[in-house]
Structure 1
């Protein structure tokens, strides 16, 4: 079981020290006086100490909503109103992915590898030694990919790795982000590999899958 975050632990200590009722009263007083920023900071401790405290969540949502109405910039307005919505309704499932197939396919190759690099979990990859080439059959380019010391790097040019993957860019991107897709693509004859395919298993073992449904103002 994962240890509670520092914010959760701190919130619990605040509530233990000052009491829920006193903190809630201060938050309500701040909202009534129009001191919305202070209200959100005070009520934050109640929400993080007890995410099921609906009274605190509703009051904090009211404060964030007012901050959203008062915000001049659309970015902050969106953040505050999103926070209010989450407190009232919970985390809303993402209805679309910003990294669509078309978006990924349109990335320059170096940016594609940068995008793949942010999926690497540094702790898992700390002792990894992964090395393979990617030959983009539709671009006439070959890039070398390696992971060492928890970091993915890539550079143009072929080497003599234990594995070479040959695929069109859009399929190569799918493999870089979801290595498990390689087996199906290989069986369908859409890609070709030479060398040791288990390298992709080693690569997959250090990748993370991003969850777009993350909390903004709740633990």
Structure 2
């Protein structure tokens, strides 16, 4: 307990961090609960090696997860990623046509809320995109650049491309790896 307070007060003190890491490691080895074991050993690893940077990784979603995620679920996920404060007073509507599944969606941003409708197309959208599902996932997660994908022929955009790019900036990028035992 004393070492934990010492590390929190002075996170640059390598000697205290190493001592606390040894203590956590021993607690992890003796823990009967696998959850507590993982907490302790993760804490020890963080004290010794720090937290790995995951910027540009698109969060915790790997390609297998994306390949198996239905579009409705992904659009719900995007609505969670929408930063309501940034989206305040913004109204945007986009038509999405997915070439691989031959489905259409309208996504609508209004009152800091993102809604979507399957099988419907807005009559006057800000922009319309035609692309495959995985390309859309990669662009929305920030793993791929919209302009590069358009230049590569993976995306066709009509309407105001800048408006869709502005929409992408309203989505928060979650940091899946966070500090557990250090400030």
How does 1:1-219 map onto structure 2 within 5 Å?
39=1, 42-93=2-53, 98-156=60-118, 157-160=120-123, 161-178=125-142, 181-219=145-183
Q: Distance in 1 between matches of 2:67 and 2:107?
A: 18
Q: Which consecutive segments of 4 or more residues in structure 1 shift more than 6 A?
A: none
Query: Which consecutive residues of structure 1, in runs of 5 or more, have no partner in the other structure?
Result: 1-38
Q: Distance in 2 between matches of 1:123 and 1:90?
A: 31
The answer (yes or no) to whether the contact 1:68–1:77 under 8 Å persists in 2 is: yes
1:108 Cα deviation after fit = 0.6
Deviations 1:157-214 (A, max 9, x none): 2222221111111112223223962212222222212211111121122123334443
The answer (yes or no) to whether the contact 1:180–1:204 under 8 Å persists in 2 is: no
SS of the residue corresponding to residue 108 of structure 2 reads strand
Deviations 1:45-69 (A, max 9, x none): 3222221123432332233223212
Q: Distance in 2 between matches of 1:150 and 1:67?
A: 46
**Bigger proportion of residues as helix:** 1
Q: Distance in 2 between matches of 1:81 and 1:43?
A: 16
State the superposition RMSD in angstroms: 2.5
Greater relative contact order, per chain length (Cα 8 Å cut-off, separation 6+)? 2
Deviations 1:17-69 (A, max 9, x none): xxxxxxxxxxxxxxxxxxxxxx2xx4333222221123432332233223212
Query: Which consecutive residues of structure 2, in runs of 5 or more, have no partner in the other structure?
Result: none
Q: Distance in 2 between matches of 1:149 and 1:68?
A: 47
Which structure's CA Rg is the greater one? 1
**Structure-1-length-normalised TM-score:** 0.70
